[in-house]
Amino acid sequence: MHVVFAASEAVPFVKTGGLADVIGALPREIARLGHKVTLYLPYYAQVREQVPEKKPLIRSLTIPFQYYNRFVAILDGGTHDGVQVCFVDCPELFDRESPYRTETGDYLDNWERFGLFCRATLEATKQLGVPDIFHVHDWQTAMLSVYLRTVYYYDPVLRNAGTVLTIHNAGYQGWFPPQTTERLLLPWDIFTKEKLEHYNTFNFLKGGIVYSDALTTVSRKYAEEIQTPEFANGLEDVLRRRAADLHGILDGVDYSQWNPATDHNIAAHYTPENLAGKTECRRDLLHAFCGEQIPETTAVLGIVSRFATMKGFDLIAQIADRLLSEDVYVIALGTGEPYYEGLFRSLQDRYPGKISVRIAFDDVLAHKVIAGSDISLMPSQYEPSGLIQMYSLKYGTVPVVRATGGLDDTVEEWNPETRTGTGFKFQGYNPDDFLAAVHRALHIFRTDKDTWLTLMRNGMAMDFSWKKAATEYAALYAEVARRRS
């Protein structure tokens, strides 16, 4: 089977969030199952820095718009772990300071940028190889499914290709003015409530949901949640209509990069059988964050996150004073909303010796925080999949999480009677429930080291590798291809 992935980012080429990690890993795992895999990415300025000019596979494709044409080259990105990478090169649209936006907001022509990317991918496959399945991701590539079932409906080369759309985060949908319909040369009869119209906007993600053969999202729990008003951001009705075609497939972890037994970013290696290196990693982390005087009896609470309300930082703000009055040391790493960056700086000033903050995106430090902390905090308002909790489990860092999305699917509440479980969860989105869950963790850490070691080892024994997810995706591809044949 031939699978084409179309996505707006992927490691190691360009990354703004977790989507890049998924696209860096999943195509490789599909290829390992014996399938032919091609990945299409925009040739951003950030990609050009990583991958200097490559030879063109296609020198020029004409992509029509309402009053003009754009001209696109398809560049050979080489083969990586069995995955052929192709870059869609259109400098006037992609050669910019960031993939999606500036500090003042999203690029106003994102409708054109990603509409072109979707159509160019379709046109390129007609010359380079039409797949059995197009696997598209989030709103930026959802229009590929729309084009395939409208403008390209009668194309004999493409008509049997199936489409799978993965929704990584339903909070971002790609809303644009109604005129986008004709600007992208799409028929006006798709701009209806049943199809792409959404509160008088042209909604890229909704179009993908309506026109894709199958839908997936990144955890079982999130597949349920996005059929409700609280999590679907207005798309709950259309998602409920497609419920039979909606599958929750949990994201995996790349254990070649995230494994305390082999991680070259941490001070010492360790395993469930020999945890001595964990102590050295904690010592190294405290040195890096100026906490050398912290005693072994003080719990180190780690936060690695984008500083945003959706990540639960309003709850952290509400419990900060109570938490920092206790015998804990908090280490926070990340960037995000200016309010929360300022909040952490002020807490660091007010509670010297109790909290250390680094406002930065630093992958090496992220490994150190996860390996060296005792407890990892993830009180997310919503979390479609989440990776930090899965990394934390592998590193014996006990997670405290809100029971939402992938956090609920991957963390099992500690049960003292059966001595099973891997962390601590809270249900209601309120600060008191969050603090109570933190206190449950702190109580065991302070009073029962044998139980704490059991908790650590339970988490380290969990396996969230990509192999299981890839097998589920491959089965779904086969089903969609069968229906399309």
Indicate the pairing of strand 83-89 with strand 69-80. antiparallel
Alpha-carbon distance 356 to 459, whole Å? 26
Kindly state whether residue 311 falls inside one of the protein's structural domains: yes
Structure tokens at 155: 């194309």
Concatenating the DSSP letter of every residue in 363-424 gives: HHHHHHHHHH-SEEEE--S--SS-SHHHHHHHTT-EEEEESSHHHHHH-PBPBTTTTB-SBE
Residue at 24 is within a domain: yes
Residue 171 CA from chain centroid, whole number? 12
Question: Of 18-22, 26-30, 39-43, 405-409, which gets the smallest average pLDDT?
Answer: 18-22
DSSP state letters, 283-330: HHHHHHTT-TT--TTSEEEEEES-BSGGGTHHHHHHHHHHHHTSSEEE
Burial 247-282 (b: 16+ CB within 10 A, else e): bbbbbbbbbebbbbeebeebbbbbeeeeeebbebbb
* Mean pLDDT within 3-15: 95
Residue 402 binned pLDDT confidence (cut-offs 50, 70, 90)? very high
The answer to whether residue 53 scores a pLDDT higher than 80 is no
Residue type, 240: R
Quote the CA–CA distance of 142 and 412 in Å, as a whole number: 34
CA–CA separation, 173 and 19 (whole Å): 14
Residue 455 lies in a domain: yes
pLDDT at 111: 98
Type of residue found at 209: I
State whether 122 and 198 are in the same domain.
yes
| pLDDT over threshold 90, residue 113 | yes
The answer on 189 and 323 residing in a single domain is no
Same domain, 154 and 248: yes
269: in domain = no
**CA distance readout (Å), 296 to 55, 395, 424, 449:** 56, 18, 22, 12
pLDDT of residue 90: 97
Residue 41's DSSP bridge partners are 87
Residues 52, 137 within the same domain = yes
Q: Is cis: bond before 12, omega within 30 of 0?
A: yes
Q: Six-digit token pair at 47?
A: 């990609």
Tell me the CA distances in angstroms from 318 to 201, 314, 356, 404, 435, one per residue in order: 36, 6, 18, 20, 10
Give the pLDDT mean for 461-484.
96
Q: Are residues 455 and 471 in the same domain?
A: no
- Contact between residue 377 and residue 388 where contact means Cβ atoms under 8 Å apart: no
pLDDT, mean of residues 356-375: 95
Query: What number of CA atoms fall less than 13 Å from residue 426's CA on the CB side?
Result: 23
CA distance 214 to 233: 20
State the DSSP string of 85-107.
EEEEE-HHHH-SSSSSEETTEE-
Residue 132 has pLDDT above 90, yes or no: yes
Residue 165 belongs to a domain with what CATH number? 3.40.50.2000
265 belongs to a structural domain: no
pLDDT for residue 17: 83
If asked whether residues 456 and 478 sit together in one domain, one would say no
Contact 161, 148 (CB under 8 A): yes
Whether residue 234 sits in one domain with residue 97: yes
pLDDT band at 411 (very low <50, low <70, confident <90, very high): very high
| Residues 100, 224 within the same domain | yes
Q: Residue 54: what pLDDT?
A: 81
pLDDT interval class at 380 (50, 70, 90): very high
Query: For residue 135, what are the β-bridge partners?
Result: 5, 164
The boundaries of the domain holding residue 105 are 2-252+466-484
- Does the pLDDT at position 485 exceed 90? no
What's the residue count for the chain? Answer: 485
Q: How confident is the model at residue 126 (pLDDT cuts 50, 70, 90)?
A: very high
Mean pLDDT of the chain: 96
User: Is the domain of 232 the same as that of 300?
Assistant: no
Per residue in 151-180, pLDDT (tens digit) is 999 999 999 999 999 999 999 999 999 999
188 and 290 co-located in one domain: no
Does 258 fall in a domain?
A: no
pLDDT at 292: 84
- Dihedral sign, CA of 241, 243, 249, 251? positive
Residue 338: CB atoms within 10 A of its CB come to 9
Which pLDDT tens digit goes with each residue over 414-454?
999 999 999 999 999 999 999 999 999 999 999 999 999 99
Q: Say if residue 309 is in the same domain as residue 369.
A: yes
pLDDT digits (tens, 9 = 90+) for 25-52: 999 999 999 999 999 999 999 999 888 8
| Main-chain dihedrals φ then ψ at residue 71, nearest 5 degrees | -125, 130
Q: Which residues of 151-168 are buried (b: 16+ CB within 10 A; e: fewer)?
A: bbeeeeebeebbbbbbbb
Region 383-409: what's the mean pLDDT?
A: 97
Residue 374 has pLDDT above 90, yes or no: yes
In this predicted structure, the answer to whether residue 103 has a pLDDT above a threshold of 90 is no
Tokens encoding 45: 């300025």
Using an 8 Å Cβ cutoff, are 215 and 245 in contact? yes
Question: 358 or 17: which carries more pLDDT confidence?
Answer: 358
- Amino acid identity of residue 414, one-letter, is W
Tell me what percent of the residues of the chain surpass a pLDDT of 70.
100
Question: CA 475, CA 477: separation in Å to the nearest integer?
Answer: 5
- Are 312 and 381 in contact by the 8 Å Cβ rule? The answer is yes
Mean pLDDT of 275-298: 95
Indicate whether 352 belongs to any domain.
Answer: yes
Amino acid at site 200: N
Position 233 in a domain:
yes
Judgement on whether residues 320 and 455 belong to the same structural domain of the protein: yes
- 3-class SS of residue 436: helix
| Domain count within the chain | 2
